[in-house]
Copies of this chain bind each other. A is one copy, B any other.
Amino acid sequence: MSAGTETVLDQVAFDANGLIAAVAQQHDSGEVLMLAWMNRDALRETIETGRACYWSRSRGRLWRKGESSGQTQRVVELRLDCDRDAVLLLVDQTGVACHTGRLSCFYDAVRDGKLVSITEPLVDPDQLYGR
Complex Cα distance, B107 from A27, in Å, reads 15
Residues of A53-89 contacting chain B, CB below 8 A: 77-84, 86, 88
Interface CB pairs A-B, < 8 A, 17: A2-B113, A21-B35, A23-B23, A23-B32, A23-B35, A25-B30, A25-B32, A32-B32, A47-B110, A77-B110, A79-B108, A80-B106, A81-B105, A82-B98, A82-B105, A82-B107, A83-B105
Interface of A is mostly: mixed
Interface contact B79-A8, CB-CB below 8 Å: no
Given A11-B115, A115-B8, A115-B11, A34 contacting B81 (CB threshold 8 A): yes
A131 interface hit (Cβ, 8 Å): no
